[in-house]
Amino acid sequence: MKLVGPARSFPRRTVKGVDGYAVGNNGSAEQDHYFAVGRRCRHLGADLANGAIAKDGCLVCPWHGAKYDVSSGRMVRGPQGVFAKIPGLGALFKGISAVVPLGRAKVVKQGDDLYLDR
């Protein structure tokens, strides 16, 4: 397992890059929930470690706002802005991510630290 860092450096609704993963915490007020998904957006390759976590817990791409379910690695909302106006584009990328979802790794908390378990 690889040390990620202290859990306190991942407060809720934060995401950071750790090697090839976007590691974050999309937990609720009651409980932290850590995740790790591949960093490259399936649309045009933006670094998802620079994304944001929406209120519904999805990871939002920093470039065009595609949303990912971090538990499955699948895109659940296609690219926004001008890309949302292209018929079928969102469905195409959602379909691609259903076949080739973002890679995922387990994030394990041991003591006060987080580890990536690949």
Q: Which part of the chain contacts ligand FES (CB under 6 A), choosing from 16-24, 39-47, 94-102, 108-116? A: 39-47
Give the nearer residue to ligand FES in terms of CB position, either 58 or 61.
61
Which tokens in the block code for residue 35?
């995740």
Give the nearer residue to ligand FES in terms of CB position, either 41 or 53.
41
Q: Which of 22, 23, 46, 49 binds ligand FES (CB under 6 A)?
A: 46
Q: Which of 21, 63, 68, 115 binds ligand FES (CB under 6 A)?
A: 63
39 binds ligand FES, rule: CB under 6 A: no
Q: How far is the CB of 97 from ligand FES (least distance, A)?
A: 11
User: How far apart (Å, rounded) are the C-alpha atoms in residues 63 and 51?
Assistant: 8
Return all residues near 38 (Cβ < 8 A) that are at least 6 apart. 20, 21, 22, 48, 73, 102, 103, 104
Return all residues near 39 (Cβ < 8 A) that are at least 6 apart. 17, 20, 21, 22, 47, 48, 49
Rg (CA), the chain: 14
Residues engaged in binding ligand FES (CB under 6 A): 41, 43-44, 46, 61, 63-64, 66, 79
